[in-house]
Every structure is written in C-alpha cells, then in structure tokens.
Amino acid sequence: MSVLLNPYLAFGGDARAALEFYQSVFGGDLVVSTFAESGMPDGGDGVMHGQLTVPGVLTLMASDAFAAGEAPTGSSISISLSGDDAETLRAWWDGLVQGGTVDEPLVTAPWGDTFGMLTDRFGTRWMVNISAGA
C-alpha cells in the first residue's frame, strides 16, 4: 500500500492557464477535463479537474472551483520544493517567478541552505529550499 499527499489548487477561471504554466516550468504530463466534457454545461470550458504529473517528482491538481465567484476560505498554504538538485530547483525558481513576485530572494538562509519564497502570476505561493552543499 502507498499514500500520496499532493496539492490541489482552486482557481476562479485561470486553472487551465495556471496548469499549462506549471507544465512549462516542471515538464510532465497534463490532463484537463472541463465542466462541459463532464456533463455540466453551465461550467463551459472551465476546468473541472486538471492534473499535472511529473513522474517521481510531483502531482499537482487544480480546478476552477471558484468560477462562480465564491471566495476561498480557510488556511493559506505555500507549496514547498526542496532537495539537493540545485540546478533543477533554481530552474524551477526562475520559471515560477516569471510574471510573479519575489517575496524573499533565493539566498543563503541562517540554517545554511539556500532558501527563497515567491508568489507566481496566479497567486500561488512557493518556497524553494536547496540543501547546503548542493
């Protein structure tokens, strides 16, 4: 048996653009189902479910859950990317920050790792931690 915890992002109409952007950064396989394809014509071409799978690395899911104008409630999260593959993590940082905002620059942190935080162009918050010695 196995268990997998993965992020599921909710957008108000930008899910397809966000997933395509994340695919341009991370690579992987993207599958998108619209509300209309799923028999809910009121949702049109909004994303009922989208899934980006990068084998052995991440599974990121998203939908246009707030297309009807509902505001999300509850806690706020950041997605954390970490490891010792500095080249890959820096490339992902560079890709995610395009059109976004650097919240904390990617620099050596007090604990010795290289760490930074950003908010991408879709409002998703990311933390990147590159292990010391990488």
pLDDT of residue 77: 83
Residue 101 has pLDDT above 70, yes or no: yes
The verdict on 87 and 121 lying in the same domain is: yes
Q: Is residue 112 part of a domain?
A: yes
State the residue range of the domain holding 89. Answer: 78-130
The verdict on 47 and 88 lying in the same domain is: no
CB 127, CB 78: distance < 8 Å = yes
Work out how many domains the chain is built from and give that number. 2
Radius of gyration (Cα) for the chain, nearest Å?
16
Q: Is residue 102 part of a domain?
A: yes
Q: What is the tens place of the pLDDT at every residue in 41-97?
A: 676 788 989 999 999 999 999 998 755 555 566 667 889 999 999 999 999 999 999
Q: Is residue 28 part of a domain?
A: yes
Q: Is residue 72 part of a domain?
A: no
Torsion angle in degrees (nearest 10) through CA of 50, 52, 53, 58: -110
Closest-CA residue to 96 (of 6, 26, 12, 41): 26
pLDDT of residue 35: 86
CATH number at residue 20: 3.10.180.10
The verdict on 53 and 94 lying in the same domain is: no
